[in-house]
Amino acid sequence: MQRGLHIPKLTLVGGKSSGGEQDDLIYSGQSFTLRAMRRSSGRMLAMEWYVELELRYQARVQAAAMNLDRSLASGRPAGRLDFVKNSTPRLSEFRITKAGGSPPHLRMLGLMKRGIFWAAIGIKKKSDELRRTDIEAAQRVTMEWLDAGGGMK
């Protein structure tokens, strides 16, 4: 039996759509889907962050999304999603690294809409606390995305 890191094979992660533009899907499960917000320029900051992560950290994102998916399906949320205090619009934080875990702390900030977490940005940091500059960056991306019709395909 082979031991080591197992990364689930996902066909659409960071792939190209039939139109040639990058797909926004990061994870898709039964009760939880993780997608990247697309800016008016076409850039997806959360997807760029995810793709640039080392494979072991990409695997952590997938594992955290899978754990959250399973817990939502069972009706017992795992505590990986929290609202960001004093944010407009009301942002959510997807905690990939659990609170109190060892660094790096991986987070995504965005909006949860009908079982889909629309990620504005991803963060890899040494501290467990969110910085105001990270929240403001996520707010700018989210407002731009909402103004463009956010998530309405």
Tens digits of pLDDT across the chain (153 residues) = 344 443 444 433 454 444 445 589 999 999 999 999 999 999 999 999 999 999 999 999 999 999 999 998 888 766 788 899 988 889 999 999 987 888 999 999 999 998 899 999 999 999 888 899 999 999 999 999 999 888 665
What are residue 110's DSSP bridge partners?
A: 92, 119
Domain count, the chain: 1
Residue-number span of the structural domain to which 49 is assigned:
25-147
Q: Is residue 78 part of a domain?
A: yes
Specify the pTM.
Answer: 0.84
Rounded to whole angstroms, the Cα distance separating 24 from 153 reads: 12
Residues 103 and 112: beta-carbon distance below 8 Å: no
Assigned domain for 2 exists: no
Residue 86 lies inside a defined structural domain of this protein: yes
* Residue 5 placed within a domain: no
